[in-house]
Structure 1
């Protein structure tokens, strides 16, 4: 399996993913306008995405098997050459074999995790989608790059009629609030490796990471953003009621985000929301 053919597979999968996403968007619009068929349409969305996920996982498994067979052939050729020219040591062959087995093991783990994650992702996605549709909302997807919380908040500022603030500005505001409220926030902050409360040095590094890196943001950062912006921030999730950060005297409307535990294999993620297209047309 050559690099060109492998790249072609990944390119085709990306194209297929975009086509399914476009189909899903059309189905969402239909679900909004045809409430009698909403359940069937949502199930169709899950079926389309699940089938695509399985198809792509199967293709990656097949790709790995072909690569394994190719490597076995190459290894055999190398062994023949070694017998003739005595160029490859036994130690090198052992290292090559170990590396090949490790690659195969990692590929199997990735494929298995993809299937498990995608199953959980579909269930979570459907649950959140139903909650949003009940509120005449739809999901606005945010890139998964560590800045998802801040980009989602910025999008909400814009759609709610407030002034936009870029990621850099939002991160600075968040870090400054956390640093200024150390005494009240520190009790909720722990070292992820030791689960012990942060030391003063760790707290300083934490604030610096919030301000100057693409560190992922969670509940502490949502609280900091809500108080810095003086707006309530609501988070919709698949399990449990929505959570709202902010004092009762903060002026609405709420900034409404969605929280996803299973959307991406890299970890937790935030998306933004917006009024469903049909709702916008009715208002206009």
Structure 2
């Protein structure tokens, strides 16, 4: 029984964590549905615990609550202030059990279980109240972003949150704009390994990030004087991570991409601000070419479980 109760306590603790997380993530529109779902989850777990305890004790399932372990321990521990009770001789008959007014023997275990269930309900209510007072960063962030998208007439395209999101979003837009994954040779001298990566991309929509990563690493290496002072590690190991791992991209990588491909990158921030990263040669282009070379990204801080994330944005 103790093993089962320990399992029940862990399941209850895990459920409370899930309930708190769900309520943190709820928006004004989804809060009622989330609260209903949390109540159903709590009720289902309580019913499951009742059934398992009843099965172990050999009692009927109906009417059972959860077990109050503290009461059970108090029943089992001897009272040092009282002398030990003498056991009746085995030949004597057992005394008649105390009966309730309706003629049935009181069930102490059910009483304990009822108290335990009440404690669980109180804990659930406390968790719900705590969730109400916490800031819903995810919901607030999405509301702000949606307002900016509407104002700028932008449509969001989801990118897989796998560490390559920045490069995948860039690759998709380079391909759709007709610029392609191979930058102008006058902007950057590509290493043979980078040229090979570009040539072997199966689809810019799926593995184009490989080419953009390699171009970014080559550009930083070729212009290390512009980037090295902002790095916390040697440039060789830094660019190796860009090219060969799923290391996240950030400000330095955006600067290198903009200059390598000659594009302007507009990043909508999670607080509603927009950051513009320019290639440095926009004055030499006509308006049509400028529009073609604008890339839009959405940058999230709280909405994805793996951390910061970039999605692609398109003009509606």
Q: TM-score range by the shorter chain?
A: 0.5 to 0.7
Q: 1:64 to 1:246 in 2, by over 3 A?
A: farther
CA distance in 1, matches of 2:48, 2:228: 50
Counterpart position of 1:131? 148
Question: What is the alpha-carbon root mean square deviation over aligned residues?
Answer: 3.9
Aligned residue pair count: 190
Q: 1:160 to 1:58 in 2, by over 3 A?
A: farther
Residue 314 (structure 2) aligned to one of 267, 270, 274: 274
Map of 2:165 onto structure 1:
148
Distance verdict in 2 for CA 1:55–1:223, change over 3 Å = farther
Residue 241 (structure 1) aligned with residue 273 (structure 2): yes
Please name the residue that 1:217 is paired with: 249
SS at match of 1:139: strand
d(CA) in 2 for partners of 1:222, 1:258: 13
Deviation of the 1:270 alpha carbon? 0.4
2:259–2:280 Cα contact (<8 Å) kept: no
1:159–1:274 contact (8 Å) kept in structure 2? no
Cα 1:186–1:275 change in 2 (3 A) is same
Per-residue deviation, 1:47: 3.1
Within a 5 Å distance, the mapping from 1:48-197 to structure 2 comes to 48-50=29-31, 119-163=136-180, 165=204, 166-189=208-231, 197=232
Quick one: distance in 2 between partners of 1:186 and 1:63? 57
- Residues 53, 115 of structure 1: 8 Å contact kept: no
Contact 1:150 1:170 survives alignment (8 Å)? yes
Task: Name the TM-score, length of structure 2 as normaliser.
Answer: 0.49
Matching residue of 2:236: 204
Higher relative contact order structure (alpha carbons within 8 Å, sequence separation ≥ 6) = 1
Q: Tell me the TM-score normalized by structure 1.
A: 0.54
For the 8 Å contact 2:144–2:272, the answer to whether it is kept is no
Could you report, residue by residue, the CA deviation over 1:127-170 in whole angstroms, capped at 9, with x for unpaired residues?
11111111211211111110110111122224434335411100
Residue 256 of structure 1 and its aligned partner are, at CA, apart by 0.5
Instruction: Mark the CA change 1:204 to 1:130 in structure 2 (over 3 Å): closer, same or farther.
Output: same
CA distance in 2, matches of 1:148, 1:260: 11
**Structure 1: any 5+ residue segments left out of the alignment?**
1-44, 77-107, 190-196, 277-284
Tell me the equivalent position of 2:261.
Answer: 229
Unaligned runs of 5+ in 2: 1-25, 58-123, 182-203
SS at match of 1:264: coil
- Richer in helix (by share): 1
Say whether residues 1:47 and 2:28 are aligned partners. yes
Alignment-derived partner of residue 87 in structure 1: none
Q: Residue 183 of structure 1: CA displacement?
A: 2.1
